[in-house]
Amino acid sequence: MKRYRVGAIAWILSALVIPAQVIVALGWPSGYSVASNTISDLGVTACGEYSELGQQVREVCSPGHAIFNISMFASGALILIGAVLLYGRWGRATGRAGTIFMIVAGMSVLVVGISPWDVAPEIHDSFALMQAVSQWIAMILLAIAAGPGNFRKVTTFVVVVSAASFVIFMVALEGYEVPWLGVGGVERLSFDSLTVWTALTGVALLKSHRSSRP
């Protein structure tokens, strides 16, 4: 159906937040560290010294914060719209439930985009957590609905990596050092892997739609 194709394209386009991160990070006057700085630092609206409960103190100055926050809002909206359009693409009840959880995930990303971490930290962090949990559930449900195959294997792998990285990220925020990756690196493994999964799922859906044509 045409709406499934449009939904898949929306999920592909939701990855726009990745190049937006790169553009904003390159604009930092003092340099952005993938290991030491968090993703949310890119959206902080005022330059200064920031920390998590006195731990992980870091210098933050993101002149392009508006670009990042707008891209987060747009990414969330595209995930949400894509999930609405893809409702029913996975025929089983688990598939329909999975797309509903993706709607929640998209809404959560959208709220994160309009709630910069320095302006509304509680809202920002709560909805970031909601995005992760709802998308993990969505991915598990969609993997079950899809049945045995590469999609289930890849999705399961991404869920495990993302959830495990999130646990390490939370530990790192308490002040524990994470070798090589740092607090920023494990956060990216946790959250950016979800962004990439969404876009690649869109690509796979688009390809399956085209291959089903006469």
Residue 54 neighbours by CB under 8 Å, 6+ apart: none
Q: Is 30 helix (H, G, I), strand (E, B) or coil?
A: coil
What is the pTM (predicted TM-score) of this model? 0.94
Average pLDDT over residues 136-151: 96
Tokens 């690509």 correspond to 203
Helical (H) or strand (E) element with 49: strand 48-52
Looking at residue 214, what is its pLDDT?
Answer: 33
Residue 212, pLDDT > 60, answer: no
At residue 160 the predicted structure's pLDDT band, cuts being 50, 70 and 90, is: very high
Helical (H) or strand (E) element with 94: helix 93-113
At residue 208 the predicted structure's pLDDT band, cuts being 50, 70 and 90, is: confident
Looking at residue 211, what is its pLDDT?
Answer: 58
Amino acid at 30: S
Residue 142, pLDDT > 50, answer: yes
Looking at residue 210, what is its pLDDT?
Answer: 67
Looking at residue 91, what is its pLDDT?
Answer: 82
Residue 159, pLDDT > 70, answer: yes
Looking at residue 52, what is its pLDDT?
Answer: 75
40-44, 80-84, 204-208: least confidently modelled range: 204-208
Instruction: Could you list the beta-strand ranges (E) of the chain.
Output: 48-52, 55-60
Q: Model confidence over 119-137: pLDDT tens digits?
A: 999 999 999 999 999 999 9
Q: Model confidence over 28-79: pLDDT tens digits?
A: 999 999 999 999 999 999 999 998 766 778 899 999 999 999 999 999 999 9
Q: Model confidence over 11-20: pLDDT tens digits?
A: 999 999 999 9
Residue 213, pLDDT > 50, answer: no
**Mean of the per-residue pLDDT values of the chain:** 94
Residue 196: how many CB atoms within 10 A of its CB?
Answer: 13
Minimal CA–CA distance to 155: which of 141, 169, 134, 165? 141
